Each structure stands twice: as structure tokens, then as C-alpha cells.
Structure 1
Amino acid sequence: MKRAANAGAGGRVDKGTVELGADLLGGVSLPAAVIHEAPLAHNLAWMQRFAEAHGARLAPHGKTTMTPALFRRQLEAGAWGITLATAPQCRAAFAHGMRRLLMANQLVGRANMAMVAELIAAGAEVYCVVDGVENVRQLGRFFAERDLKLAVLIELGVPVGRCGCRDQAGVEALAEAIAAEPALVLAGLEGYEGVVHGEDPAAAVSDYAQRLVETALALDAAGRFDVAEPIVTASGSAWYDLIAEAFQAASLDDRFVPVLRPGCYVVHDHGLYREAQRDVLRRRPDLQHGLEPALEVFAQVQSLPEPGLAIVALGKRDIGHDQLPVPLRRYREGGAPDATLSVAGWQVAKLMDQHAFVHLPDAADDVTVGDIVAFGASHPCLTFDKWHHLLLVNEALEVQDSLATCF
């Protein structure tokens, strides 16, 4: 059975009615966002092993996928918790069974505070970050009024970066302010290295990681933490190796709970994070194999209006476009999954809302309307949020599951 409708609210595509076992090349309405089971399983196990080998816990950033079925698989693989970016994301994750929620962001606004208060009252273990005294005072008043305790992590930032205390004096002043609020519990230190830049970004990230370690140790030595095992957490999807190495070198797991928070690793990509992973493997040749791209979007050639140009039914509403999609493979509609056709020299030149302009080489003389093309994307976050459901497929391109998102 094909999907019941082409799109849901806001243009996000709904594939929830696709039958299990359907043939992606002949029984599914396209375009469709597809996750391949084999690389997905590989990535789940690979990153979990990496974290454990470095004495760290894994709290994958759920904003990447907002897909509860993937959250569950991450927890089943050994993840310590799930990271989220907003209070509504935390509420959605809790509604689907996630109990330990690390909100790697400031909790601002009474409506958002109320959501988190409801989660805590319902039994969720919630952490959020703070970087300013006024926010600390607002949180302290709000949660005291409700007789609840809120666990907070001080965020350590960098000059001209994003959020976070810029220097040690700011960290110490914030720790003082938290200590003055009985409803707040200082549970650790948080950072994000993805905003660190410089002529030598790897060295700059390593320096930042060391600063994060030293700040955590200084707060601990001063008796600032209110919990027996404070959290120290950082790491996006590009520099996780450098953060993990700094945590391990300092033996943080002897006193702290070191937590890594990459999110994009779960499906990886064919752009930004593929390049980042190559850098990781260059820095760490001892790591085996690395991550594999698991997310693709399948779409069909819609028109061949002139020589050298194919219009594919794939657009900005279907796939992330901070980098243009990459043609990977081509199939005949109804064909066999191992009967792939060439896309050598194919290049996406432009995306409109629901059309891709694909330049073809002279040798592409076998292209027909209806051909199915698998495309790779960069930055998976910006593809997941376009879909109500993604299709999990096996190596035979048979649909194994329909994975609902909750953006």
C-alpha cells in the first residue's frame, strides 16, 4: 500500500501507511527518506564501543533524528541517556519512554520551565545548562515555587562563540549564584566545541577540551558540585575523538561521569560529517573502519526536457540542502536492488521546493523517466525534520519498518 497522503502539515512527508515488506523500487510512493539497516546497526555499535573504550558515557543528541525508535535502539546499544535541545523535544522524548534527558541548552521562559517541571514531577531525570546569573535566579524562583529541584550544568563557552561563560571568573560567579538558589543543584559542567575556530581548529578544540577538564577539576576542588558524581559533557559529531581523549587523559571517570553527545553518527552522511570522519580516522588510524552513511533519499526522474538535463522529483522539502544532494546509485523502477545503473558525472545543480535540476554527462544516454535515484545528503538533521516517517530497509530494499519522527 502506498502512503495515504503526499504530505502532512507544513509540507513534511508522511510515509506511515507503507506496508512492511514493500519493495522500495516498485511498491513505495517516492520520494522517500530511507535508512539502511546494516550501516545503522554498524554505527550504533561503533560509537558505543568508542565511548566505552574512552571511559565515557554516550548521550546521543536526539535533535538530529527526533525519532523515538532510534532513541530506543541507542539506549538498547548502551547509551546513558538522550540529549535534546529544547523543552518540547524533552517532552516528546519522555512521552516515548526516555527517562534521562540532557537538555544541552539554556532553559528560558516560564512556559518552557513549566514543561520541564512537569517532566521532573512525572519522574524524568532532567539536566539543563546555565551561563548567566539572571537565568539562574529565574530558574531558582520558578522551581522553588513548585517545590522541585532542577539539576543544572554550567556551560563553558569561548569568545565570539555561542552561549557559555567566557572565563573562569564568570564560571565562579555562576557557581556562587547557583549555591544561593535552594531549588537548583549544580550537577556538572557542559561545553560545546563545535563553535571553536582558528587557523588550526584541531589544536583549538584540544585546547578547549583541556580548559573544560581544568575547569571541572577546579570546581570540584572548591566543593562546588552538589552531587556525588558530577557530569562533564561535550562533543558534537565532528570532534568527538579529541574530547574523548582529553576526558580519558585526565581520568575523569575516576570522579566524574564523562558524557559524549554526538548525534549525527547514527546515520552519518555523505557530506559534512563524512569529511569530519575522514579527519577523525587520520588523527586516529587505530580506529577500525569508521562510520557508514545510512540515510538516503530515493526519488524518480520526472522529466528529461532537454539534452544533458534531468528533472528529478526531489526538492528542498525532501532533503537537506546546506550542501547539494549527491547522486549515489540509479535503478529501474521495479528492478532488482543489485541491478544498479551508472550516475557517474551526474551533478545536482539546483534545488527548488520539489524539483532537482541534475546535469547529465554526454554518456548518460540510457536515462528514462521513472528511473529511481538514491541521493546522499549532508547534515542529516536537516533531512530528518522534513519527514513524518522514514523507511527502514534491508539489503534487498524491502521495507522493514516505518520510523515516526516527533518534531
Structure 2
Amino acid sequence: MQMSDAKGEAVLDATFRGVPFAAPTPASRFPQAGLRPSHGDLALPALTLGEAALRANRALFFRYLAAHGAEVAPHAKTPMSPEIVAELRDAGAWGASVANIQQAAVLMQSGERRLLLANQIGGGTAGRRLGALLAAYPDVELSAFADSPEAVATLAIAAETGGRTGLPILVEIGDGRAGARNDAAVAAVIAAVRAAAPRLRLAGVATYEGAVAGPDQAKTRAAITRLMARTAASFAAVRAAEPDTELILSAGGSAFFDLVIAALSPIVAADGRTTLLLRSGAIFFADHGVYAKAFAALDERGGLVIGAEKLKAAEAFRPALRLWAEVLSRPEPGLAIAGFGMRDVSFDQGLPVLLSIYRDGQELAGAADGIVVEKLNDQHAFLRLPPESGLEVGDVLCLGISHPCTCLDRWRLVFGLGEDGSVTRVLRTHFG
């Protein structure tokens, strides 16, 4: 179990997946040990984060945002790592987004002081819980979403419980998930927020374009265009209600950030007193599945435009996460069983992709060709092999994942890897 030594440093042992040490070991010892998952030095399966890829993705996306006059409050629900959130803030992030009260508590406790609560939270009991948290951290600036008068009432309870005045509220516009569905619903939220003054104040409009996406790219683009039009109309209504206030116009912005920027940046530029705020989270990690496809689709729409420069998003963003596992069994020709499963990796938007194979610490060139992850049990993976495959029990597999959010949340520890493939740090996640 995790504990702390006399200096307060985290101490880890083999009760954490990936930790190879039976005895409690300070986290600072891991980089010194020169552990390489490709050598089987970690207790497999293990999830790793390529530090260089993360830095490159961060620099690229921040450069893109600066070129288009936008900011980002990265969604902390993807890694739930205070260290990564702090690094993004230090790199220039506006703040951080959270999806619920627990996530807000983690980031408040870790020192974050500007949060966007990008979700509805429920009724009065939840409002009192949020209010208690606001009271405990009076220096935290928190803005929240509301898509109905009932949601506004909950946030008014939170503001009263927390002793806040002027708690910023963004009217959420939606389709396919939460969010006000029509002009009447938007007007009702605006009226409810104004009626709850001075506890609450109108602070802008928010939406999530990913909720209207589907497999058909043309239909997805049309649906996002309609949602952006509704968002623009709702923003005009909020601006009419608050003619002199600095406002926020927010969207999700990972898979379709180019469409969001194209639709909303002219509105922000014309208004002159509004921040265009994306909530991109998974983009900093990319992947070999759903986001790889999203970047390819973005390239078909015209690519990643940064000033006079045009980049291929599918090449510019680098997948940062890797799952490492070991071959456990070769029970019959054409089949291998590996030691990972649904408890270890995302599968909701695609199965893992085998990238490379290592034996005795050496990569076997071309050995991964033709091998497909066909099925997952809770802790077993079924790999279909070509007839000529020489895969053996004990071989170490390096796999790319699809959908960072539903992979990271399966792990309490993620191991950062340097350019040489060795562990540089241990990141603790806080999914509850």
C-alpha cells in the first residue's frame, strides 16, 4: 500500500500494479534504478507515459491556441494527475476543468486555484457538498455549468453554503448529452441566474461538440455546425443580459478543435471582451486509435494551421501512452494469451494495437507484424498470430492504446519514460 516516509515522500510497494519492489520503496528511487519496461523491469502489465511526446504535444497545442487567440483549461478527468495539471498550468493554461466535486477537491488540495466545473452536479445535497469545498478553499476561483433552473438552484445553494457572492455560471448548450436544447431553455437559465444574484452571476456560455459526433464525418460536421450556431445565438443572449461583463465562451476541443476555433473565434474577436476557452484533455496524450483517426479526419479538413504554417495533425501529435505486458501462454497454433485485459486498458473505442516485441531486452524487428489483439477478458488478452510468428512465452509486448481517458482511469500509477526508455518518474493518479 502507499505510505509516506519520515520526510513525507510517497513510498510504494508491490500492491501497486507495475511496481517491481516487494519492500516499500520511495518514489524517488524509481528513476535511480534505471528500470526499463522493455527489459521486463516493471511488474507487468504497466502503463507508461512518454515524457518527450507529452512535452511535444503540449508545445504544439499551445502554439496552435496562441495563433488563434484561444486559451485552454485542460480537462483533468483524463489523467487525474496534479503533477500534469500543474505542468500544463505552468506552460500557460488558463486553469483546469473538472467533471465532478471529487475532481475539484483533488485539484484544490493540490494547489490549483482556477477551475471550471464542466458538468451538472445534481441537487441540493451536491450543492451543499460543493459549498463546503468552496468554504474550505476561499481563494479558489471556480466557474460552473448550468443547463436548467434546477441546476442554477443547486449552484445557488453551493454559493450560499460556501459564503460566495458572484459565483460565475456558464449557460451550457447541448445535444446528445447535457445542455439546454432550445432558446426557451437558455432564457430560463439566464433568468434563473439573474434572479439568484448576488450569489450567482452570468459568466458566459459552454458546449461540448463531441456529444454530437458519430461515425459519419459529413453528418458529424453538419451536427457540430448546427451546435455552434446555437451556441453563438445563446452567447448573444447572454451578452445582451450582461453587456459590460468579461465573459467566457467554452467548448470541448480535443477531436474537433479546428471546427470549434473556426466557428467561435470570429465571435470572440468581434465581441472584444470574451475569452475563447477550450477544455481539451486527451489531446495532450493522443493515441493509436480514436484520436489517431480524429487527427486523420482533421487533416482531411485542411490540416493543422498555425499562422502561415500547415502541419499534418496525424504526424505532429505523438501518442504518449504505452501499455506493456508479457506473453503468458501459447496454448495452440495461431494464438497467444497475454497478461492484460479490460481491467488494464481501454476498449470502448477500439482495442490496443501491438507496436513492438522485446525478448531479453532486445526489440525483435518485424515480429509484431500481422499480430492482432482480437479479444479481451478481464485480465487476459487473446492475440491472433500469423502462422510464421515466433512469439514465445515471456516475450514483452509494447502496445498502443485507444482513448486515453478510459485507459488512465484504470491505473493508480503511471510511469514516465525518458528518451532511453527508462523510468524518469512515477505519477500518482487520483480517480477516487
TM-score by length of 2: 0.86
Name the structure 2 match of 1:376.
400
Matched, 1:172 2:191: no
1:124 aligned residue (136, 140, 149): 140
1:262 aligned residue (263, 267, 280): 280
More divergent stretch after superposition (58-67 vs 132-141): 132-141
Cα drift, residue 289 of structure 1: 4.0
CA–CA distance in structure 1, aligned partners of residues 172 and 162 of structure 2 = 25
Name the structure 1 match of 2:93.
79
Name the structure 1 match of 2:71.
57
Name the structure 2 match of 1:200.
219
Q: Which runs of 5+ in 2 are unaligned?
A: 1-10, 21-25
Cα drift, residue 32 of structure 1: 0.6
Matched, 1:70 2:84: yes
Cα drift, residue 235 of structure 1: 2.1
Work out the percentage of aligned pairs sharing the same amino acid: 36
Matched, 1:354 2:379: yes
Cα drift, residue 101 of structure 1: 0.8
Relative CO higher for 1 or 2, CA cutoff 8 Å, sep ≥ 6?
Answer: 1
CA spacing shift, 1:139–1:327, aligned 2, 3 Å? same
Cα drift, residue 113 of structure 1: 2.5
1:4 aligned residue (13, 16, 24): 13
The amino acid that maps onto 2:233 is E
Name the structure 2 match of 1:19.
30
Cα drift, residue 178 of structure 1: 0.9
* Deviation readout 1:208-248 (Å, 9 max, x if unpaired): 2233123212321x2337x7311110124211111111122
Matched, 1:281 2:299: yes
Matched, 1:45 2:68: no
Cα drift, residue 341 of structure 1: 4.8
Matched, 1:404 2:428: yes
The amino acid that maps onto 1:217 is A
TM-score by length of 1: 0.91
More divergent stretch after superposition (198-207 vs 305-314): 198-207
Name the structure 2 match of 1:299.
325
CA contact (8 A) 2:416 2:427 kept: yes
CA–CA distance in structure 1, aligned partners of residues 379 and 302 of structure 2 = 40
CA contact (8 A) 1:271 1:377 kept: yes
* Deviation readout 1:292-319 (Å, 9 max, x if unpaired): 1110101111111111111111111111
CA contact (8 A) 2:133 2:162 kept: no
Cα drift, residue 43 of structure 1: 0.6
CA–CA distance in structure 2, aligned partners of residues 397 and 224 of structure 1 = 53
CA contact (8 A) 1:264 1:380 kept: yes
CA contact (8 A) 1:37 1:294 kept: yes
Name the structure 2 match of 1:329.
356
CA spacing shift, 1:381–1:252, aligned 2, 3 Å? farther
CA RMSD of aligned residues (A): 2.2
Cα drift, residue 353 of structure 1: 1.4
* Deviation readout 1:102-141 (Å, 9 max, x if unpaired): 1110132444323432443311111111111122223324
Matched, 1:88 2:102: yes
CA–CA distance in structure 2, aligned partners of residues 145 and 41 of structure 1 = 40
CA spacing shift, 1:376–1:142, aligned 2, 3 Å? closer
Residue aligned with 2:311, SS: coil
The amino acid that maps onto 2:409 is D
More divergent stretch after superposition (87-96 vs 137-146): 137-146
* Deviation readout 1:39-83 (Å, 9 max, x if unpaired): 111111111111111111111111011111211121122111111
CA contact (8 A) 1:252 1:258 kept: no
* Deviation readout 1:162-192 (Å, 9 max, x if unpaired): 1111111211121111111121111111111
Residue aligned with 1:314, SS: coil
The amino acid that maps onto 1:5 is A
Matched, 1:246 2:273: no
CA contact (8 A) 2:18 2:47 kept: no
1:137 aligned residue (125, 134, 153): 153
More divergent stretch after superposition (303-312 vs 141-150): 141-150
CA spacing shift, 1:228–1:47, aligned 2, 3 Å? same
CA–CA distance in structure 2, aligned partners of residues 14 and 253 of structure 1 = 52
CA spacing shift, 1:90–1:252, aligned 2, 3 Å? farther
Residue aligned with 1:106, SS: coil
Residue aligned with 2:410, SS: coil
CA contact (8 A) 2:73 2:95 kept: yes
More divergent stretch after superposition (241-250 vs 144-153): 144-153
The amino acid that maps onto 2:181 is R
Q: Which runs of 5+ in 1 are unaligned?
A: none
Residue aligned with 1:342, SS: coil
Cα drift, residue 157 of structure 1: 1.6
CA contact (8 A) 1:22 1:398 kept: yes
Residue aligned with 1:62, SS: coil
CA–CA distance in structure 2, aligned partners of residues 141 and 390 of structure 1 = 37
CA contact (8 A) 1:55 1:253 kept: no
Cα drift, residue 142 of structure 1: 4.6
CA spacing shift, 1:311–1:57, aligned 2, 3 Å? same
CA contact (8 A) 2:56 2:318 kept: yes
Name the structure 1 match of 2:289.
271
Name the structure 2 match of 1:393.
417
CA contact (8 A) 2:147 2:180 kept: yes
CA contact (8 A) 1:59 1:261 kept: yes
Name the structure 1 match of 2:113.
99
CA–CA distance in structure 2, aligned partners of residues 154 and 14 of structure 1 = 44
CA contact (8 A) 1:23 1:399 kept: yes
Residue aligned with 1:358, SS: strand
